[in-house]
Structure 1
Amino acid sequence: MTTGRIIFLNGTSSSGKSSIARELLDLLDDGVFFHLAVDGFNAMRTKRELGPAELDAALRRTREGFHRAVAAMAQVGNDVVVDHVLSEPWRLRDCLDVLPAESVLFVGVRCPLDELTRREAARGDRPAGLAALQYDQVHRHGVYDLECDTGAMSPRACAERIRDVLADRPYPTAFTRLRDREPAARP
C-alpha cells in the first residue's frame, strides 16, 4: 500500500490555515484528501475545568495523539491536509519522529502581525494576543518546502500554489532536512 501524501500547514492562530485547507479540498482532484486540524482534536476533549498541570498534560497527550492519527491516516493510503501550530519545539520533533518525511509537503503559513491581531479580534473565539504569542515560535525552525503569506495572497491563491508544488514536490523534503538536523524526541 502506498503512503498517502501529507500537506502540513504550520502557522499561528488566525493565520489562515483552515481557510487554505478548505480551498485545497475543493482544488485537489487527484485523490481523496482529509482535513485534520489540531483544533478539531482539542474540541473533542472534555469541557470540565482542568487545573494547570492537568491541562498541560492533557494538551500534550492530545497533540501527540493528533500526530499519530495523522501518521495512521497516511500510513493506510489516505491523503491528508494537516492544520497545526508548531508553537513548541517538541511538537516539531514529535512530528519528525512519527510522520513519513518523504510524504510531507511542509508549508509555512505566514501573515503580518497587525493582520493576525485584526483577524483574532474579528473572530472573537481566541484569547486576545494568542497569535502574537505564537508569532516568533511557529517558524523558528526556518525550513519549509513552500511558504504562503495570507496577508498578501487569498486562501485560494495559496491553495493553488500548494497544489502546483505538490505535483512536483521538492527532494529532499523539508521534513527530511529537518529530521537530519533536529535531535529525536525520544531516545
Structure 2
Amino acid sequence: MEHLDSVPPRQGLVIFLNGTSSSGKSSIATELLSVLDEPCFYLPVDAFHAMRSGAAVPPERLATVLHRTWRGFHRAVAGMAAAGNDVVVDHVLSAEWRLRDCLSLFPPRHVVLVGVHCPPEELARREHERGDRPPGLAARQLEQVHAHGIYDVECDTSLAPPRECALRIKEFLADRPTPTAFERLREAL
C-alpha cells in the first residue's frame, strides 16, 4: 500500500466531450473508460443534476439553481483533475459563460476538447427514441454548443460508432499538439 506522503503531485487530464443533448457523448465516454490505459473518472453533467434533491424549485429560481449546479460541476471537475485524476467530462456548452468558466478553471495544457457532432435529423430521431428529452432540445442547442469553433479532435456519431470515436480520441492522446484548443480559446476570448 502506498504511503500518502509518497504520492507524487500530478495534474490530471480532462477529456472534455462537448456536444448537444443526444449527440452521443455518454456513449463515447463509456467506451473511453474501457479503452484508456490509465484509470480515469467519468463525470457527466447530468449526474450532477440528478444529485439535486427533489425539492420543488419555483420557476423564478430555476435559472439560478441550474447556474449554480453548472458552476459547481465545473469546480468538481477542476478539483478532481487538480488532485491528479484523469477525468472524462460530458457537457453541453450551450451558453458562452459555461465555456468561459471552464477556461478560467482548467489548466489549458491539460484539456483535450472533443467536438461531438451529429446532424439535426439524427438528433431528432435519437430524442424521439429516448423519450426523456423535450423534442427539439438538441436542435435548439446546436448553434451555440459549437459556436467557439475550435477543437482538438472531432467526432461525428452519425458516421462512426462510439467505440471508434473513443479509439480516435485515445490515438490523439498519444501525441497531443500545442497549442491546445483550450490554449487557443483562452487567447481568443
What band does the TM-score fall into relative to the shorter chain? over 0.9
Residue in structure 1 matched with residue 107 of structure 2 by the alignment? 100
Counterpart for residue 117 of structure 1: 124
Aligned equivalents of 1:51, 1:122: Cα separation in 2: 30
Deviation at 1:49, TM superposition (A): 2.5
1:140 aligns with 2:171: no
Per the alignment, residue 57 of structure 1 pairs with 64
Query: 2:33 aligned to 25, 35, 59, which one?
Result: 25
* One-letter amino acid of the counterpart of residue 22, structure 1: T
In 2: Cα distance, 1:95 partner to 1:178 partner:
11
C-alpha deviation, 1:69, in angstroms: 0.4
Deviation at 1:128, TM superposition (A): 1.0
| Candidates 72, 75, 78, aligned match of 2:82 | 75
> What's the TM-score once normalised by structure 1's chain length?
0.95
User: How does the TM-score come out when normalised to structure 2?
Assistant: 0.94
SS in 2 for 1:137: helix
Between the two proteins, what is the percent identity of the paired residues? Answer: 62
Q: What are the superposed Cα offsets for residues 22-47 of structure 1, whole Å, 9 maximum, x if unpaired?
A: 00000001x11100000000001122
* Aligned residues between the structures: 181
Distance 1:19 1:34 in 2: 14
* Unaligned ranges ≥5, structure 1: 183-187
- Uncovered stretches (5+) of structure 2, i.e. residues with no partner: 1-8
What amino acid sits opposite 1:98 in the alignment?
Answer: L
Following TM superposition, by how much is the alpha carbon of 1:59 offset from its aligned partner in structure 2, in angstroms?
Answer: 0.4
